[in-house]
Structure 1
Amino acid sequence: MTRVQVKPELLRWACERSRIDELELSVRFPHVEAWERGEKQPTIKQLEAFAKATHTPLGYFFLPEPPVERLPIQDFRTVREDVPRPSADLLDTIYAMQRRQDFLREERRDGEGEPLDFVGSARLADDPEAVGREMRRVVGLDDGWAAEVKTWTEAVGELRRRTEKLGVIAVINGVVGNNTSRKLDVHEFRGFALTDAYAPLIFVNGADAKSAQMFTLAHELAHVWLGRDGEGVSGFEGIFPGDQRVERFCDHAAAEFLVPASELKKQWPTVRHEGDPFERLARHFKVSPIVAGRRAMDLRLVSRDAFFKFYKDYTRRERDRVKTAGGGDFYNTQNTRLGQSFALAVMRAALEGRLSFKEAYDLTGLRGGAFQEYGRRLGVPLP
């Protein structure tokens, strides 16, 4: 039985990078602690299984020391230098989205598509609220927006679809690809933006609460408006940004985009004495009560104490609802995990021979029958 010489620090690094519970790993690999102490060495089969379990490329275990992995895009989550290393889940998600963006960029350029003029149209020196109003105009939120959706929860999906119609790949996903055992951590990141003139992409962490997803979607869209200056990973507590200048800009733009200050001030006298003012504003603006309440606080219509009391109670109730909610239809979920426009572009390229079906499977994360069935539901006759 062939044993493989692996440095203990590489095994420990892989465990930390995966963020998998140590007890879970020790159950699956009873000798892992002995490997890490250098008392035993794994067989090649054991090492392959360990690499797969920790989502680590096998070749990394043969390096002289653990590699220093950095995010391939800017990190807007903190201004500190002692940031924790990115998890395998976050890295794999960013790399997968970059591959999708590369594919769609070439598709659109080869098809003589035009660059999207709103990408990079804003600057940090601009008034963020003015940018938010321009975003609202371009997306079309003033064009029958409130009448077309019944609730703010439906509005999240509608906002994603409208964003996609602009040419933006808009993804909401709470796991890595379709792997439900690799749930994304909202404490690590809320979303990220990959800016590009032909194929901009925004990713919203779907493991987050619905009330936060809407704000993150608008926040990442503001990153697209900033262009290259705005490409990066965002992470903030709920709907409260960090200290980064870019994050503050996108936060203010998103707030105006979702709840224009002038409209809120007009509505406030009619709801301020009601028992549920934030819920009433939410129904009017088709945003979550959290976003409505936070905007009222920013405009000094309510005190911080009043808002945070509501915020804590509402998020607790929302977490309880999530615990009791069931799963959705797999193929409907693909609309948010992939986006119909991106999925259709991949399927058409595969049908026309510009992309192999294996490449199509890799880009979408769907295999064989699932790929064909999703294509059928989108009206694409796949073989």
Structure 2
Amino acid sequence: MQSSVNISSEVLDWVIAHAQMNSLSPQIVGYLNLWVSGEKKPTFNQIEKVSKATGIPLGYFFLEHPPKEDLSFVEYRTVDSTELENPSRNLIDVMHDMDQVQEWMHNHLISEGVSPVNYVGIFKEETSYKVFSQKIRDLLGLSVEWYAKSRTAEDSFNIIRAAISNIGTLVMMSGIVGNNTHRPLSIDEFRAFSVIDEYAPLIFINSNDSTNGKLFSLLHEFSHICIGENSLFNDRYSTGKKVRKVETLCNAVAAEVLVPQKFFVREWSAAIQENEQEQAIHVLAHNFKCGATVIARKAYDNGFIEYDLYQKIAKLAVQLYNEKRRRLKERGESGGDYYRTVASRIDRRFFRLLVGSVHEGKTLYSDAFRLTNTNRSTFANLIESVGGGVK
């Protein structure tokens, strides 16, 4: 028979407040209720189960007082939602993981004598979105019609991601916490976030979003980096309402890079002659290799459509994507090749520098495994999968 363990009442109250109770199994909720009521004391094994289910670190349960976690990033959320006043453990833990990646990159670049990047904080909220978007194209080495080289939105995402990474911003991406498939990241909680650093600014993309959503989020977050402000992008419907001025600017910049105004007006004029408004939106989304929501917003901002149609398009895009994910889940389809999936989560420049540092003996293998959520076997296979990792 296992002996019981004492948990501080303060810590237990904190656990209850920070656990996502509606997502926990009846067994886990039962444990917590019994502990709070004092009917039973927990065993170590039960605490381990609760820790795993809630994502709350095991060590927290044995503290005398609740831990003090830095949740200041919540202040930078796009939409002032009550849900994010109590962010999930999944979001908190992913932020913690990205802090470690960013810290390693920051220290590595300084040790190598690399200069800070020159674009963090170069713009202010008052900047014209057209001036801002052209500067981003210049920074990324893109022509105004760069999207013409893309066949799909995925092509466009890969082009933008590579360009942003190449100039020194880490672009990390995942739909789960670490390698734990039982801890998916909720797209309703956040789409992306960015963390400012003069040497290693970082963007994290929630890969549970649609390809079009990820593309827009990437440019939105890079705009925040150019403004020099952290961001937690949680606007699922891209409403453009009830958001701060800086968010409206970042949305406008992202939309302008994806769909330049002068080409949009020309394309709209042609499409509307042969199509109803809603169909014209989808025609332009195909032409510009982006989401219908971006086109609808452009059309609304230009006075070509009413807000109700824009809102309908935005919500329909979310519904269609949710339905697609549900069908894939029902068919039991996985994310494809494991190493391809893992490689897609990691910024290529970061991985190349990390592998090089390991090979030079400057970084421990154990640290590399921790930073990439791998082990000795999977790390070696990942290097092989991405072509040696040090190209």
TM-score, scaled to structure 1: 0.90
Shift of 1:183: 0.8
Quote the residue 2:367 is aligned against: 359
- 3-state SS of paired residue (1:233): strand
Moved more, 53-62 or 285-294: 53-62
Aligned partners of 1:258 and 1:285 also within 8 Å: yes
> What's the RMSD between the two structures over aligned residues?
2.5
- 3-state SS of paired residue (1:59): helix
What aligned pairs does 1:70-109 form with structure 2 within 5 A after superposition?
70-73=70-73, 75-77=75-77, 78-79=79-80, 84-109=85-110
Quote the residue 2:245 is aligned against: 245
Distance 1:240 1:301, change over 3 A: same
Deviations 1:196-222 (CA, angstroms, capped at 9, x unpaired)? 222111112222233322211111010
The whole-number CA distance in structure 2 between the counterparts of 1:377 and 1:69 is: 37
Matched, 1:345 2:327: no
Shift of 1:7: 3.8
For structure 1, list consecutive stretches of 5 or more residues without a partner in the other structure: none
The whole-number CA distance in structure 2 between the counterparts of 1:265 and 1:160 is: 27
Aligned partners of 2:84 and 2:189 also within 8 Å: no
Aligned partners of 2:191 and 2:233 also within 8 Å: yes
The whole-number CA distance in structure 2 between the counterparts of 1:28 and 1:36 is: 12
Aligned partners of 1:191 and 1:233 also within 8 Å: yes
Deviations 1:361-381 (CA, angstroms, capped at 9, x unpaired)? 000111121111110122328
What aligned pairs does 1:236-275 form with structure 2 within 5 A after superposition?
236-241=235-240, 242-275=242-275
Aligned partners of 2:343 and 2:382 also within 8 Å: no
Distance 1:274 1:306, change over 3 A: farther
Aligned partners of 2:172 and 2:204 also within 8 Å: yes
Quote the residue 1:323 is aligned against: 326
Aligned partners of 1:18 and 1:89 also within 8 Å: no
Aligned partners of 2:292 and 2:313 also within 8 Å: no
Aligned partners of 1:169 and 1:202 also within 8 Å: yes
What aligned pairs does 1:1-383 form with structure 2 within 5 A after superposition?
1-8=2-9, 10-19=11-20, 21=22, 24=25, 26-27=26-27, 31-67=31-67, 69-73=69-73, 75-77=75-77, 78-79=79-80, 84-142=85-143, 145-227=146-228, 230-241=229-240, 242-275=242-275, 276-325=279-328, 326=333, 327-380=335-388
Moved more, 231-240 or 169-178: 231-240
User: Which amino acid is 1:61 matched to?
Assistant: F
Shift of 1:335: 3.1
Aligned partners of 1:170 and 1:336 also within 8 Å: no
Deviations 1:153-173 (CA, angstroms, capped at 9, x unpaired)? 332232222221222111222
Deviations 1:28-80 (CA, angstroms, capped at 9, x unpaired)? 57544311211111123322332233222333224455446442436222458
- 3-state SS of paired residue (1:119): coil
For structure 2, list consecutive stretches of 5 or more residues without a partner in the other structure: none
- 3-state SS of paired residue (1:73): helix
Shift of 1:244: 2.0
User: Which amino acid is 2:237 matched to?
Assistant: G
User: Which amino acid is 1:259 matched to?
Assistant: V
Distance 1:249 1:381, change over 3 A: closer
The whole-number CA distance in structure 2 between the counterparts of 1:168 and 1:323 is: 33
The whole-number CA distance in structure 2 between the counterparts of 1:313 and 1:74 is: 28
Aligned partners of 1:89 and 1:176 also within 8 Å: yes
The whole-number CA distance in structure 2 between the counterparts of 1:51 and 1:225 is: 38
User: Which amino acid is 2:190 matched to?
Assistant: F
Aligned partners of 1:281 and 1:292 also within 8 Å: yes
Aligned partners of 1:70 and 1:85 also within 8 Å: no
User: Which amino acid is 1:278 matched to?
Assistant: I
Aligned partners of 1:195 and 1:224 also within 8 Å: yes
Distance 1:248 1:29, change over 3 A: closer
Deviations 1:132-155 (CA, angstroms, capped at 9, x unpaired)? 221122223317623432112332
Identity within the alignment, %: 28
The whole-number CA distance in structure 2 between the counterparts of 1:195 and 1:172 is: 17
User: Which amino acid is 2:341 matched to?
Assistant: T
The whole-number CA distance in structure 1 between the counterparts of 2:71 and 2:106 is: 21
Moved more, 307-316 or 248-257: 307-316
Aligned partners of 1:261 and 1:299 also within 8 Å: no
Aligned partners of 2:175 and 2:184 also within 8 Å: yes
The whole-number CA distance in structure 2 between the counterparts of 1:234 and 1:312 is: 17
User: Which amino acid is 1:54 matched to?
Assistant: T
Shift of 1:23: 5.3
TM-score, scaled to structure 2: 0.88
Shift of 1:180: 1.4
The whole-number CA distance in structure 1 between the counterparts of 2:361 and 2:301 is: 53
Distance 1:185 1:115, change over 3 A: same
Deviations 1:258-301 (CA, angstroms, capped at 9, x unpaired)? 22222211221111134332222223322122212221112212
Aligned partners of 1:350 and 1:360 also within 8 Å: yes
Aligned partners of 2:16 and 2:32 also within 8 Å: no
Shift of 1:82: 9.2
Distance 1:313 1:46, change over 3 A: closer
Shift of 1:110: 1.9
The whole-number CA distance in structure 2 between the counterparts of 1:277 and 1:244 is: 30
